[in-house]
Homo-oligomer: A and B are copies of this chain.
Amino acid sequence: MNIKGFSSAAVSAGIRYTGRLDLGLIYSTTPAVTAGVFTTNQVKAAPLLIDMERLKQGRAQAILVNSGCANACTGAQGMEAALATSALLSSSLGIPDEMVLVSSTGVIGEQLNVDAFSSSMDRLVAELDEEKFEEVAHAIMTTDTVSKTVYRTVTIGEHEVNFMGMAKGAGMIMPNMATMLSFVVTDAQISFPELQESLRQATDRTFNRITVDGDTSTNDMVIAMANGTAANEWIDEENPAGRQVFQDTLEDVLKELALKIVSDGEGASKCITVRVCGAKEETEAEQMARTVANSNLVKTAFFGEDANWGRIIAAMGRSGVRFDPDRVDIAFGDVVLVRDGLAVGKEAEAAASEILKQKNIAVRIDLKDGAGCEEIYTCDFSLDYVRINADYRS
């Protein structure tokens, strides 16, 4: 599927390894309204600092993204390198430098190989094509095992509007915001303040609800570009119907990407939704769900397909949320394992063990203390997580 006015390209530039796609480009023929959300980590990689500054204008035309090197903790040299790659691209494309956003993922602390960019830039631009989003999604993979793209077409007013979203994830996944790279392009016509707010809300409800390992990266960003080619009525406060469709669709795209990231979490064999209800406040429900979803003991028990709810209640108990342990219910799928703080029995545990053999598992916790309800998405914690992360750089 193509998104009117956007094209993309990817090449093998040899930034860290040879023979794999590692440099991608997303390009809008006209300047697009562009918004971004960036990592909350205090340590921010050079490309993020550049993009945060450039996005104050709310416009961009190109995203240049590489894997293999994060260009984080690289000081003045890293900043110069990022600016140099941006200049190489803007010159090849014949657009102003400020219209280029740069993005990197890979190992922290190593300097960017600018030569790999300069020797590949003309080839990259020459490859531009309307149908190459999949190649870019491949080029940004690190320990991801599959590329992640989502496409949607909706109608706003009488106009067809298209969305393409891509993401990479795998490790260092506990947003807020952070966690991975994601790029969304749409031909919708929308104002910058609307797009920024819409992206912030959608990110909060999707990427900020997933966790793989509780670590937050230095490089992660979500960027949304909207070039207006669909010619729909402007999306703003005077167009509430259009705004709703846009918001729902963006959230839908990001949610699907977020779940793809979790299910491709490093070493993941299962997707787990931790839903906490009956909390006094939604924020408390979220806090508890997040603590459970980040517990190594809970996640290894899921890997072992062990209905070890004791680890869940122990994690709840250290979450900082006040609750009455004697009123808690815990269910796996439809099987209630714990009622009013007590084990239901061996039969329930046997039924729960069957549920744990599935790929997608819902953990439902009810505190019976209010109307607050939230969910967090995570994966299990496997031997492969350790293998991948013990070996990552070698």
Q: Which residues of B contact A341 (CB under 8 A)?
A: 73, 75
Query: Which residue of the partner chain, among B178, B296, B303, B309, contacts A215 with CB atoms under 8 Å?
Result: B296
| A38-54 near B? 1/0 per residue, CB < 8 Å | 00111100000000000
Residue of A306, A311, A342, A391 with highest tally of chain B CB at under 10 A: A311
Q: Which residues of B contact A325 (CB under 8 A)?
A: 42-43, 73
Query: Which residue of the partner chain, among B73, B107, B386, B387, contacts A342 with CB atoms under 8 Å?
Result: B73
- Cα distance, A108 to B70, chains bound together (Å): 43
Q: Closest CB-CB distance, A346 to chain B, in whole Å?
A: 10
Q: Closest CB-CB distance, A307 to chain B, in whole Å?
A: 9
Interface assignment of A234: CB less than 8 Å from any CB of chain B = no
| A301-312 near B? 1/0 per residue, CB < 8 Å | 101101011110
Contact, CB under 8 Å: B386 / A314: no
Q: Closest CB-CB distance, A108 to chain B, in whole Å?
A: 2
Q: Which residues of B contact A389 (CB under 8 A)?
A: 296-297, 300-301, 304
Q: Which residues of B contact A215 (CB under 8 A)?
A: 295-297, 311, 314-315, 318
Q: Which residues of B contact A359 (CB under 8 A)?
A: none
Interface assignment of A126: CB less than 8 Å from any CB of chain B = no
Interface assignment of A110: CB less than 8 Å from any CB of chain B = yes
Interface assignment of A68: CB less than 8 Å from any CB of chain B = no
Contact, CB under 8 Å: B382 / A308: no
- Cα distance, A317 to B314, chains bound together (Å): 28
Interface assignment of A74: CB less than 8 Å from any CB of chain B = yes
A window 323-363: CB within 8 A of B? 323, 325-326, 338, 340-343
Contact, CB under 8 Å: A314 / B393: no
Contact, CB under 8 Å: A41 / B318: yes
Query: Which residue of the partner chain, among B41, B42, B72, B213, contacts A297 with CB atoms under 8 Å?
Result: B213
Q: Closest CB-CB distance, A387 to chain B, in whole Å?
A: 7
Q: Which residue in chain B gives the minimum CB-CB distance to A324?
A: B42
Interface assignment of A371: CB less than 8 Å from any CB of chain B = no
Q: Which 4 A-B pairs have the closest CB atoms?
A: A108-B310, A304-B390, A43-B317, A300-B389
Instruction: Offer 27 A-B interface pairs, CB within 8 angstroms, sorted by A.
Output: A41-B314, A42-B318, A43-B313, A43-B316, A72-B310, A73-B343, A74-B342, A75-B341, A107-B308, A107-B310, A108-B311, A109-B343, A110-B343, A215-B295, A215-B296, A215-B297, A216-B318, A297-B389, A300-B385, A304-B389, A304-B390, A304-B391, A304-B394, A306-B394, A382-B390, A383-B386, A385-B386
